[in-house]
Chains A and B, each alone.
Chain A
Amino acid sequence: METWQFFLGNWQQTLDLSWQHAWVVAVAVVIAICTGVPIGIWITFNQKAADMVLYVAGIIMTIPSIALFGVMIPLLSLFGHGIGTVPAILALVLYSQLPIIRNTYTAIRNVDPNIIDAGTGMGMTRWQVLAKVQLPMALSVIFAGVRVAVVMSIGIGAIAAYIGAGGLGHFIFMGINQSYDGMINCGAFAVAVMAICADYLFGFIENRLVSKGLRP
């Protein structure tokens, strides 16, 4: 009840913060896809690199987010971006790497070698095999990784309010400081709704992009 009243009184600000939140996550995920997918593809050619990249990405995942933000403040201060959206986006990009790289790598590696052999045997170049056979077949698993990254980023993005990136975490931290349950709940609830919507949206896009022939 308190939450609903808070929302009615502050819906404009809630929407603003949601927008800010979504924007930070969206930029981070786009960058993460643009880096993670090519890295995931590249390491399928190189086992040594694969072991190393997956190891490092795994370590990054284990760093508590609040610590990562803390570590980035002095580092990015050198470029004048110690706090605000830049460190927030950078942290989310780093966190998103593991699910995206790992899923891309696994999915491409798991394409049946017979099917790759058929492609090569019919005269496809290495790149044509990748673009016409391996990637389309790996798409749904890559998408699963992206979905994990998006949902996770929305959650971690709330903590980024702590370093001044704004977003719905703003309500949560301010609510805690003021012991204002309505405000905390409103922020938390909005984050949850956003995560569910994003997951649903990506599921929809996945359905559109992944070939019908691959559905179970």
Chain B
Amino acid sequence: MIRLEKVTKIYPSGSAPAVNGVDMEVPQGEICVVIGPSGCGKTTLMRMINRLISITTGSIFIEGNNILGMDPIELRRSIGYAIQQIGLFPHMTVHDNIATVPRLLKWESQRIRRRVDDLLELVQLDPAIFRNRYPRELSGGQAQRVGVARAMAVDPPVMLMDEPFGAIDPINREGLQDEFLKIQSQVRKTIVFVTHDIHEAIKMGDRIALLDAGSLVQYATPEELLTAPKNQFVKDFVGADRALKRLDLLKVQDAMLVNPVHCNNTDPASEVAGRMQEKGLNYLLVCDADDHLKGYVTLRDIFDHTGKISDRVKPMTLTVRPNQNLKDALSKMLTYDIGIVVAVDDAGRLKGVLNTMTLASVIGQTYDEQGGRWGKVSAGGKIL
């Protein structure tokens, strides 16, 4: 747990305080995203927590201990610290980079080696391949994972992260954020996370601290920030597309229709076509006997076909997982002309369907459990 009490920073050169009387508390195991326009003091605030910047007035407590009472070097070694990937030491291998703090704490080399391998596995880098690489031999995403592993080297309860995904291209950033959230769900660190990207803040934060000119404007959950912005500044900052941003918060499984109507690969096409006309469906999902998604067929493709459905199946390669957020789902949905996206589990089994109507209703919070033509036709969703 981190508690800030009336924390203020005044630089000798500056007239206005860089950070002005910030009071906030980050509960155990949560990610607190600190965000604001550039120059709002967010990085200053974060750097005061490990005393890279001295506190002018006020106090900061970590696990109930005032950090001013601790030796700054010891304090920093007990706090994980990750900055943009540029912070890796270029002259050290991945192993040596991760081993930095354990070595400062004089762990024995066997223990360090085991810990490094464990961490590399945690961030999904094969130790045998990556252990002896140098940072310049890593991609941006890999370097960033090493940065996170390095910050977690001695399993610190508290971590500070300054735009850790800032140097990564947007596509890989999404994936890394997902991975990081997955790791966080296992390790449950108390994290202060600085970013200037509101999408990242909404996605990553359990709470968001919005700063402006050194003052804390609103400290709330992402949901609250979007639905109940405290004033015009917050409204402007989160943007006019607040409703769309809620898509970052919601998961596919919250909105998808379960047991969507579908047919079997081996069903006779003419019968299926008949049922589709009866139900007024223009297209239909196709699965195999074990519910693995095979693709879809349109009525036009099959109405004059006498063989099996499997002859006319169009593949559907862009699918989502039930635990992905709705923003990803929406972008995939727009790729197909039939305006749906299908949720499958890791084995590729059909889990549910999202269409524009369900999305719209979810955003509008008037989601109807039975709604839409993709609702239940029969038990288990089978059309025949």
Are chains A and B native binding partners rather than an unrelated pairing?
Answer: yes
A residues contacting B by CB (< 8 A) are 112, 114-115, 117-125, 128, 132-133, 136-137, 210-214
Question: Are B73 and A114 in contact, with the CB atoms below 8 A?
Answer: no
Contacting residue for B52 out of A117, A132, A133, A213, CB 8 A: A117
Q: Let me know if A114 and B91 touch, CB within 8 A.
A: no
How far is B105's CA from A124's CA once the two chains are assembled, in angstroms? Answer: 10
Shortest 8 CB-CB contacts between residues of A and residues of B: A213-B134, A123-B77, A118-B87, A211-B91, A123-B76, A121-B81, A136-B91, A114-B86
The reply to whether B50 and A137 contact each other, CB–CB distance below 8 Å, is no
Q: Contact check: which of A117, A122, A125 meets B100 at CB < 8 Å? A: A122
- The smallest C-beta distance from A204 to any residue of chain B, in angstroms, reads 19
Q: Which residues of B contact A133 (CB under 8 A)?
A: 89
Residue among B101, B104, B160 with the highest chain A CB neighbour number at 10 A: B104
B contact residues around A115 at 8 Å (CB): 86-90
Contacts of A210 in B (CB 8 A): 91
Query: What are some 15 contacts across the A-B interface (CB < 8 A)?
Result: A114-B86, A114-B87, A115-B87, A115-B88, A115-B90, A121-B50, A122-B100, A122-B104, A125-B73, A137-B89, A211-B91, A213-B91, A213-B93, A213-B134, A214-B90
Residues of A contacting B76 in the complex (Cβ-Cβ under 8 angstroms): 120-123
Sorting the interface of chain B by its residue count into under 10, 10 to 19, 20 to 34 or 35 or more gives 20 to 34
- B157 nearest CB across to chain A (Å): 15
Instruction: Identify the B interface with A (CB < 8 A).
Output: 47, 50, 52, 73-78, 81, 83-84, 86-93, 100-101, 104, 134-136, 150, 160
Interface centre among B47, B76, B89, B93 (most CB of A within 10 A): B89
Docked CA distance A112–B86 (Å): 9
Q: How far is the CA of A125 from the CA of B72 in the complex (A)?
A: 10
- In the complex, residue of chain A having the shortest beta-carbon distance to the beta carbon of B74: A123
**Is the Cβ of B91 less than 8 Å from the Cβ of A214?**
yes
- CB proximity of A122 to chain B, nearest CB, Å: 5
Known A115-B87, A211-B92; 12 more pairs at CB < 8 Å:
A114-B87, A115-B88, A115-B90, A117-B52, A118-B89, A121-B160, A122-B77, A122-B81, A122-B101, A123-B74, A132-B89, A137-B90
